[in-house]
Amino acid sequence: MRKINSHKEAAWRYVPTADNPADLASRGGHVEEAELWWHGPRWLGSPELWPVDVLNKPSEESQREAKLVQRVLRDAVNKENKIEELLYKF
């Protein structure tokens, strides 16, 4: 991922599930004979046909989820520190 992100000209884009070759393999599909697997979606070679990015900014739902994850992680770290303190104390 870091190597990809080091190329400033690379951009992440939305790919619908039906057009995503990786989804074939990850869902246990048979990729050996799948045209999508070997050639990609038909629109790939024509940027003017690319799907519209469905999300340009974080949604309210994704922001709520991110806050929840941060809170869970913060609480987990705090509990771990308390357990560590007790272990050192006794």
- 73 and 41 inside one domain: no
Asked if pLDDT for residue 29 goes beyond 80, the answer is no
pLDDT at 54 (0 to 100): 66
- 9 and 26 inside one domain: yes
- 68 and 45 inside one domain: no
pLDDT at 67 (0 to 100): 83
State if pTM tops 0.85.
no
- 3 and 43 inside one domain: yes
Q: Which residue range is the domain that position 63 belongs to?
A: 57-90
Asked if pLDDT for residue 41 goes beyond 70, the answer is yes
| Residue carrying the six token digits 């990850």 | 26
Task: Give the count of domains, the chain.
Answer: 2
Question: Residue 34: how many CB atoms within 10 A of its CB?
Answer: 13
pLDDT at 55 (0 to 100): 60
Distances (CA, A) of 68 to 54, 59, 84: 23, 14, 24
pLDDT at 2 (0 to 100): 78
Q: How much of the chain exceeds pLDDT 70, in percent?
A: 84
**Closest by alpha carbon to 15, among 46, 32, 40?**
40
- 50 and 63 inside one domain: no
